[in-house]
Structure 1
Amino acid sequence: MIYTITFNPSLDYVVTLPHLQVGTINWNQAEEIFPGGKGINVSWVLQNLGVPTRILGFKAGFTGNEIQRLVEERGIPCSLLAVEKGFSRINVKIRAGEETALNGKGPEVTAADLDRLRNQLRNLTADDILVLSGSGPSGCDPSLYGDIAGEMARRKIPCVVDATGKLLAGALGARPFLVKPNGEELEELLGRSLPTEEALTEGARELQRRGARNVLISLGAQGALLVAETGKVYRHGAPQGTMVNTVGAGDSMVAGFLAGYLRNGDCAEALHWGICAGSATAFSMHLADRASIEELIKGK
């Protein structure tokens, strides 16, 4: 089972209109509501690929209940913990030529709430995988992901970290199985420009020296670069297609990589699956379904 944690899930209200005019009323052409958050996205695509998964995290208020309802409506097991203060956020995504987003803050998560989550994690075994992705709760300690990943490491449970800044940096020492920054996030973390493939590779190796086992760097339309714990470097371009959506593409890559890796432990195949899953989402209006991912996989 692959467990994902979404500390701050959302209802994503996605609207489409010809153009956005600031300072006046805009009328949309289409609207949809989805459960959002990076961990939820990973579980959504994993389920589409037939991989058993369960969503963990927090919810609050009527919006939190709706997030859980929408996820369970999809048939994805979901164990979001209810917290008392605030409500789960609503994120507005505006598609009007360019994409514009207005993201909410989310509820207050207390130390006692985090202890409840840690109690849930005691149910995981070495046969499971834990995915930590996205931002932590509002005002969380930067060591949060590192603390959780460290506990997983002590119990021999592989951990995937898809986060930025101090949350990612704090988790490296726990030797996570996989980290997935994009190029810009890696530059920000290391504090320097990485203009070439060689520079990106060296940046990935620096994360490995800090503890990461496998480093997957997503590069948008240029595909992805994987530096495996064996030291081998894998490079894969993105398939051709029309990009219509960037939301969830990186999360889909994580899901595809894990689904591919679980087949036979082959990094090249895992990278191919990750690229195809991420691209299939980028070519779709929402997270990619199994058919669209498999179409790209078979086109290799």
Structure 2
Amino acid sequence: MIYTLTLNPAVDYIVNVSNFEIGQVNRASKESKFAGGKGINVSKVLTRLEKESTALGFIGGFTGQYIQTSLDKEKISSEFIQVNGDTRINVKLKTEEESEINGISPTISEENLSSLKEQLGHLKSTDVLVLAGSVPDTVSSSIYTEIIDMVKERNVKVFVDTSGPALKEVMKTSPFFIKPNHHELAELLDVTVNTVEEAAHFGKKALEKWDITHLLISMAGKGAVYISKDEVMHATVPSGNVVNSVGAGDSMVAGFIAGFEEGLPLEEVLATAVAAGSGTAFSNGFCTKDLVHSLKKNIKITSLQQ
């Protein structure tokens, strides 16, 4: 089973306002709500790619119930832990300039964390665990490291997509899979990464320094660079009109996992990952399986191995 863990989920409330004026009463022209969080997004895309997963994490209050109900409607299995307080609401204001207000996360108690670790204690070597997204302020940035150290004893494959202090902590665990973007890679190594060649060069440095098994560097319009012990490859992005950037990175992770679990050659795994990310970027929502298969035909994979 594939398990996705979202420590800091949210209800994303998207509001469209024409000619927004500060200090005035503004009326929305359009609004929408979604169950958000990187791990949850990975589960949504896995479902579209016909891969089963179980969503884990912390939810609370009426907003937490909304997330639970949303996943139930999409037939996504979940085993959330209830916490005191309400799951946060992130407001995304779409007007002349796009702005965001991220809400405050509920407090995660030691009892909540113990319940999570008990859940993860049942994972087996045939399971996959996805650690995705930010860490709540009330939880140590080392939580992902603690989880990886715990499940590694049972040879669980862990896929990580996070940033900031949590990313720096995770690197110490020699992760099986990690997906930084080129800015995050640059920050990790205190360098500048702008080109595909620089991503490949410094990606190899990171792979050697932290003993990473699979490293996928996302570079937006420049595609993605994949690095392992034996392979260095670049994937272009297919042509299309970008209408949505939310969840594109999460879709890449889901695409990689889907291809990897099917036992596809690494070139095809990489193409599936990039097609899934692009498919979401080209959609008002998340990619579909048919769109991913269609976009894969227009992705060029080049070996950068010297």
Equivalent position SS for 2:54: strand
Matches within 5 A, 1:273-284: 273-284=272-283
**Residues 1:206 and 1:39: Cα distance change in structure 2 (over 3 Å):** same
Matches within 5 A, 1:259-274: 259-274=258-273
Residue 210 (1) aligns with residue 205 (2): no
1:228 alignment counterpart: 228
Moved beyond 6 Å, runs of 4+: none
**Residues 1:14 and 1:181: Cα distance change in structure 2 (over 3 Å):** same
**Residues 1:218 and 1:81: Cα distance change in structure 2 (over 3 Å):** same
Kindly provide the amino acid, as one letter, of the partner of residue 189 in structure 2: L
What is the aligned-residue identity percentage?
38
Q: 1:33 offset after TM fit, Å?
A: 1.0
**Residues 1:19 and 1:50: Cα distance change in structure 2 (over 3 Å):** farther
Q: Distance in 2 between matches of 1:242 and 1:195?
A: 23
Q: What does the per-residue CA deviation read over 1:137-175, in whole Å, with 9 as the maximum and x for residues that have no partner?
A: 223222111111111222100001101122112122322
Q: What does the per-residue CA deviation read over 1:229-262, in whole Å, with 9 as the maximum and x for residues that have no partner?
A: 32x1110111111111111000000001111122
Q: Number of residues paired by the alignment? A: 298
Moved more, 147-156 or 89-98: 89-98
Kindly provide the amino acid, as one letter, of the partner of residue 174 in structure 2: R
Q: 1:97 offset after TM fit, Å?
A: 5.3
Q: What does the per-residue CA deviation read over 1:19-71, in whole Å, with 9 as the maximum and x for residues that have no partner?
A: 54433333222221110000000000001101110000000111111111111
Q: Distance in 1 between matches of 2:205 and 2:136?
A: 28
Q: 1:74 offset after TM fit, Å?
A: 0.6
Q: Is the 8 A contact 2:132 2:162 kept in 1?
A: yes
Q: 1:265 offset after TM fit, Å?
A: 4.3
Residue 30 (1) aligns with residue 30 (2): yes
Q: Is the 8 A contact 1:173 1:212 kept in 2?
A: no
Q: Distance in 1 between matches of 2:13 and 2:111?
A: 30
Matches within 5 A, 1:32-181: 32-84=32-84, 86-96=85-95, 98-181=97-180
Q: What does the per-residue CA deviation read over 1:187-230, in whole Å, with 9 as the maximum and x for residues that have no partner?
A: 12222212332322232223222132111011111111111232
Q: 1:77 offset after TM fit, Å?
A: 0.2
Kindly provide the amino acid, as one letter, of the partner of residue 55 in structure 1: A
Q: Distance in 1 between matches of 2:98 and 2:293?
A: 27
Equivalent position SS for 1:155: coil
Q: 1:184 offset after TM fit, Å?
A: 1.1
Q: 1:289 offset after TM fit, Å?
A: 2.4
2:254 alignment counterpart: 255
Report the TM-score when normalising by structure 2.
0.92
Report the TM-score when normalising by structure 1.
0.94
Kindly provide the amino acid, as one letter, of the partner of residue 178 in structure 2: V
